[in-house]
């Protein structure tokens, strides 16, 4: 058997082309390179911008890198470099939360992957060391948020995504201890934030001295025992690549079971409500960002499982999510500067409800590019 690349002009290419053209237009409207798109509320048309320290700062340069990856457009590459550079400060200042992976890996990580710029590698290694300072060996996990005395040591399901920076650094010149920290964090999350029915808590609170698990909390979900949609997808994706990096079958099994639980409860259109247990369903807001993350996670999963039926299952589900997001209902079109509509940020705080949010666009572009690569590779008999 050999792998042969085949040229296609697929629907995926058409969507990527339209998305990249839109990104190219929007970037010209943002004149300052140390401010980053985050949200467009329903009544607005332009991105609200945030600073370097916002947890979402890395997603916009990541979107630009993805646009460049698809198009080869040098102006997008230039813009991606300009928006990436200000984030460097995060790698060299004390850690204040776990979001360093989101901030640095999505910007510098994609930049290094596409350019091989050694200066980017240096920043990423420094960022991994900074993230590792939040590790508590008594608990075995990275502290997500500082300054929350109600949760002595807290770890949130989102933090699974930041482990990729640590795994990468351990393979690319960083300390082996970074791998150990990432593996331990994934294990602690698996054992405590994943419930017996394979839904997830958003936040796990631990005793910072004994490491004992105290309780699971919804925080951004509807209730402590509810299934918050985006949290479930962080888990699917995070445990999938944790298996990829460690070879631990329990991580793969966890990702599979989280994915199956998610699929079991999905509404017909393939895009979840913000929380699967909101009693206002079907009149609750959707979360397109969760669908985009789920697509990435299940595409990852489809490349890791050995059973051909499972490969096909997760690949086809990911395609289903991407198709739904690429429909008129979820694509922004001329509505505003974003790619996607109908994401939900922090519902309990009434923040970013049914809005356009930058991380939805980021994972949507990632999912499209992943799908394109898979579809452009076919296995044929020689």
Q: Which of 99, 275, 287, 361 is catalytic?
A: 99
Cα gap 288→295, rounded to integer Å: 11
Cα gap 281→283, rounded to integer Å: 5
Instruction: State the Cα torsion 26-28-30-32 to the nearest 10°.
Output: 150
Cα gap 204→145, rounded to integer Å: 11
Q: Are 345 and 353 in contact (CB under 8 A)?
A: yes
For the question of residue 180 being annotated catalytic, the response is no
DSSP 8-state secondary structure symbol assigned to residue 284: S
| Alpha-helical runs (H) found in 247-345 | 249-265, 288-302, 308-325
Cα gap 102→119, rounded to integer Å: 19
For the question of residue 34 being annotated catalytic, the response is no
Q: Are 178 and 128 in contact (CB under 8 A)?
A: yes
From start to end of the chain, where are the E strands?
2-5, 36-40, 48-50, 135-136, 141-142, 153-156, 203-206, 213-217, 356-357, 377-380
Q: Are 166 and 181 in contact (CB under 8 A)?
A: yes
Q: Which of 73, 129, 158, 287 is catalytic?
A: 158
Cα gap 290→367, rounded to integer Å: 12
Which residues are CB-contacts of 213 (< 8 A; sequence separation ≥ 6)?
A: 192, 204, 205, 206
* 42 dihedral zone (left: phi>0; alpha: psi -120 to 50; beta): alpha
Start-to-end Cα distance in the chain: 6
Q: Are 167 and 247 in contact (CB under 8 A)?
A: no
DSSP 8-state secondary structure symbol assigned to residue 233: H
Catalytic sites, residue numbers: 99, 158
């Amino acid at each position: 058997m050999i792998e042969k690349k085949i040229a296609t002009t697929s629907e995926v290419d058409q969507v990527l082309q339209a998305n990249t053209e839109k990104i190219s237009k929007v970037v010209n409207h943002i004149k300052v390179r140390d401010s980053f798109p985050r949200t467009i509320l329903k009544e607005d048309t332009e991105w609200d911008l945030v600073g370097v320290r916002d947890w979402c700062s890395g997603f916009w340069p990541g979107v630009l890198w993805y646009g460049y990856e698809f198009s080869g457009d040098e102006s997008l590459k230039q813009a991606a470099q300009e928006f990436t550079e200000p984030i460097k400060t995060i790698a060299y200042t004390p850690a204040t939360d776990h979001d360093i992976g989101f901030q640095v890996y999505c910007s510098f990580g994609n930049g290094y992957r596409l350019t091989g710029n050694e200066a980017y590698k240096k920043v990423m290694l420094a960022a991994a060391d900074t993230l590792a300072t939040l590790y508590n060996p008594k608990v075995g996990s990275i502290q997500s948020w500082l300054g929350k005395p109600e949760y002595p040591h807290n770890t949130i399901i989102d933090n699974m995504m930041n482990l990729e920076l640590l795994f990468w650094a351990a393979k690319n010149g960083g300390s082996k201890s970074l791998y150990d920290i990432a593996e331990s964090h994934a294990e602690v999350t698996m054992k405590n934030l994943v419930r017996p029915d394979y839904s997830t808590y958003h936040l796990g609170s631990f005793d910072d001295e004994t490491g004992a698990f105290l309780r699971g909390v919804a925080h951004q979900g509807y209730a402590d025992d509810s299934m918050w949609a985006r949290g479930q997808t962080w888990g699917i994706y995070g445990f999938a690549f944790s298996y990829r990096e460690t070879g631990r079958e329990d991580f793969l099994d966890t990702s599979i079971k989280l994915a199956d639980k998610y699929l079991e409860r999905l509404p017909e259109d393939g895009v979840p409500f913000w929380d699967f247990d909101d009693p206002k369903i079907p009149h609750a807001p959707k979360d397109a960002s969760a669908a985009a993350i789920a697509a990435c996670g299940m595409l990852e999963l489809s490349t890791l499982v050995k059973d051909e039926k499972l490969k096909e299952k997760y690949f086809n589900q990911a395609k289903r999510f991407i198709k739904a997001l690429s429909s008129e209902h979820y694509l922004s079109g001329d509505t505003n500067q974003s790619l996607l509509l109908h994401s939900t940020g922090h519902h309990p705080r009434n923040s970013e409800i049914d809005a356009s949010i930058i991380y939805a666009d980021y994972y949507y572009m990632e999912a499209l590019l992943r799908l394109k690569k898979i579809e452009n590779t076919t296995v044929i008999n020689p």
